[in-house]
Amino acid sequence: MKKINGYILKRYFLKKRPKQPFIPVERHETIRRQITDVIAGQALSAREISGLVSVSEKEVYEHLEHIQKTLTKKDYILSVTPAECVKCGFVFKKREKLKKPGKCPLCRSELIHEPFFSIPK
């Protein structure tokens, strides 16, 4: 045992352990394909989608923006049910961003229902 600045350190703390290599999750489909399959016919929030597809919520929003562009080429539409303020009921109809807004412009409340995304069949 060594004593450094009044702390007793054991030898195993001083040894460097070899780092384990990063092994990505094995996927048979692309993430965007999984998201389109999940939201086909049902409305889900980005949080629900991220749980089903096993990616972060931030990544889901990025993928949804790309899916929205590519679906128009295939004659499908990404249907977005807009976010809504819990406190005053304001609906964010004109919002072009897919992400959940931070505050309500009327009452400044931060309690906002997330937008829902779906691809109608």
Domain assignment of residue 112, yes or no = yes
More confident residue, 4 or 74: 74
Side-chain half-sphere CA neighbours of 76 within 13 A = 16
Assess if residue 38 is contained within a domain. Answer: yes
Is residue 65 assigned to a domain?
Answer: yes
**CATH for 112:** 1.10.10
Q: Is residue 81 part of a domain?
A: yes
Q: What's the chain's average pLDDT?
A: 83
Range(s) of the domain holding residue 105: 28-118
Judge whether 17 lies within some domain: no
For residue 76, tell me if it sits in a domain. yes
- To the question of pTM greater than 0.75 for the whole model, the response is no
Domain count across the chain? 1
Q: Summarize pLDDT for 21-39 with one digit per residue, the tens.
A: 877 667 677 889 999 999 9
pLDDT of residue 19: 74
φ, ψ for residue 51, nearest 5 deg:
-70, -40
pLDDT > 90: what percent of the chain?
Answer: 45
4, part of any domain: no
pLDDT tens digit sequence for 85-94: 999 999 999 8
Where are any strands of DSSP class E within the chain?
Answer: 2-4, 7-9, 44-45, 79-81, 84-85, 112-113, 116-118
Q: What is the pLDDT of residue 66?
A: 92
Q: Please check whether residue 55 lies inside any domain of the structure.
A: yes
* pLDDT for 77: 87
